[in-house]
Structures are given as C-alpha cells and as structure tokens.
Amino acid sequence: MKCLTFKPAPIDHGYKFRRIDLYPEILVAADVDYVIDTSRGTSLEADGIRLDTIEHVLASSCGPGDR
C-alpha cells in the first residue's frame, strides 16, 4: 500500500518528497535541477532515487491564489 502525507514545513522550505520506505530515508526537493524526464509525466531523480508523476501531487497542493 502506498501512502502520501502532507506535513507543514518552515517558511521558504519549498516542496520536498521524503521516501520513508527506504533506509536511510531520502529527501528529494521538487527542483527543476532534478527533472530527468517529462515525456509521460514529470520524473525527478536524486541520489539514485526516482520519483514519477510528481506533477499530480504538486498540482493538488496549490489552491486559487497560491504561487
């Protein structure tokens, strides 16, 4: 089962994805420098860990007026 939890962070922390199913836990920033593929979704990779279709999560976290 996959689970996604949103937690508050300090101001200007930015969006981060934490893989808690790995040891040690991996933290990947939602940063354009980590984008490796956009052909069928947005994929990030850092430290050999790949995250796919992250655009769905990022889009759902913004509401009207958010930047």
Give CA angle at 12 (9, 13), nearest 5°.
Answer: 45
- Give the per-residue pLDDT at 1: 55
- State residue 31's pLDDT score: 94
Q: How do residues 38-67 score in pLDDT, each as one tens digit?
A: 999 999 999 899 999 989 888 887 766 655
**Torsions phi, psi of 13, nearest 5?**
-75, -30
Q: Which DSSP category does 20 fall into? A: T
Q: Which residue has the higher pLDDT, 17 or 66?
A: 17
Q: Are 19 and 35 in contact (CB under 8 A)?
A: no
Q: Residue 34 in 3-state DSSP?
A: helix
Read off the pTM: 0.75
